[in-house]
Amino acid sequence: MKVTCNVIKDVLPLYLENMLSDDSCVMVEEHIEQCQECKSYLNEMRTFNKIPVDRNTSPLLKIKSTLRKKKFLTAIFSMMFSITLFVITIALLTAPEYLPFSERSVTINEIGNGSVLAQFEDTVYGYDIDRYPADDNTGYVYHITTWDSIWNRNIKKSNTNNTILNPNGENVVSVYYYHTDGSQDILMYGKDINPNGGIVTLPRLFLSYYALIAIVFAATCGLIMLILYRNKKVLNFTMKVFFLPVSYLLGHLIIKGFTTSSYTATRDFYAILLVMIPLYIAFLMAVNLIRQYRNKKYEDR
């Protein structure tokens, strides 16, 4: 029985893998010696099987490094976002809600040795006390206000401790309770230092100065970037600096909105800084990711 070329071609893969019996191998070899077509076909198969394997792993390692870096940057970005959200939530929950004056909310009493004690009721979560020397230098004038918060009412009840206004024996001339709505301060203790007119405690304004400085700083950096945009080193450095005032302004907007005055300016300033820091880091991470995307897109071209 004559073996056709089709049969030989079907068994050639097994022949190359040494999976045929001895008789079948003899049959294939005898046919190949007489058939140039099958012989050429066998040589092609041998050439195909000997294609060299590229063992250079550098491209794969580069891809792995890029993916790892992107994963790291994404994790940092997510962490900064979470921190920002956490700080904002805590700031809102603990934001002071100023209480109107009530004889029960805070009382001023003299105790032994000339000390003056401020006592607060349970609804008071926090208080602020300012003092300054009296005009006649006979002692000090005190201004007190109190507040509550969402945190204190709904999450963790915390009562304010009573406090001595003059722990070092200073003479207390007057104690006023001040409101945050622009109404007159109420005399709670001592003599009225301004009997001919009311006293109004105004909010602090230094947050407005910081906001103005941040706006000027951001505008200056923006102008530098527009003028020197061809200088990559200057542009990159200025952009990093530019995000500092921008982050501060965003932090101010989140914590205070468009209001720049505050009766608790120090607390608000620290809250703004706590929001500003993760925002700034997130900006830098975002710029880095955008640059990587653009570089990859440019390389693909």
Q: Between 43 and 57, name the one with better pLDDT.
A: 43
Q: Which two tokens stand for residue 229?
A: 């945009």
179: closest CA among 96, 120, 270?
Answer: 96
Helix (H, G, I), strand (E, B) or coil at 200: coil
For the stretch 113-136, pLDDT in tens is 889 999 888 778 888 888 999 988
184, two tokens: 């007159």
**Amino acid residing at 256:** K
Domain boundaries, the chain: 5-49, 59-93+205-300, 97-190
Q: How far apart are CA 263 and CA 254, in angstroms?
A: 17
SS3 119: strand
Whether residue 140 is predicted with pLDDT greater than 80 in this model: the reply is yes
Helix (H, G, I), strand (E, B) or coil at 169: coil
pLDDT digits (tens, 9 = 90+) for 183-219: 889 899 998 888 777 788 888 888 999 999 999 999 9
Structure tokens at 216: 């000027």
Report residue 51's pLDDT band, with 50, 70 and 90 as the boundaries.
very low
- Whether 170 and 138 have beta carbons less than 8 Å apart is answered as no
